[in-house]
Amino acid sequence: MAGHPLAARLRTHRTAAGLSLPKAAARVGVHPSVLGSWERDGKAGRTPNVTQLDQALNAYGERLAAIPADVTDDELAAALQWLAGRRAETELAQDGEGA
């Protein structure tokens, strides 16, 4: 079973930055097994919250898009789920056009 798309993106950014898992984890301030689980699973309880995601991307020389400070993790998660649903709808519509 494939992990969450965020998991693959975190790994891609880390490797593009030339960082090993232990070195990246040290920069982010988490244990390597935690960072590894973020990159592998993307399951509930194994994904970074907004602050952790920002720390990881900053460690890789990337930036998280500006998110207002008063947005909660739950609100962000709901927005990301909505966006993922919209993307899936768009892909289905595009697949239907080519059929």
- pLDDT tens digit sequence for 8-35: 788 888 999 999 999 999 988 889 988 8
Give the integer Cα–Cα distance in Å for 17 and 24: 9
Q: What is the reported pLDDT for 69?
A: 67
Specify the pTM: 0.58
User: Who contacts 86 (Cβ-Cβ below 8 Å, separation ≥6)?
Assistant: none
Give the integer Cα–Cα distance in Å for 95 and 99: 6
Average pLDDT value for residue range 58-80:
74
What mean pLDDT value characterizes the chain?
77
Q: What is the reported pLDDT for 60?
A: 85
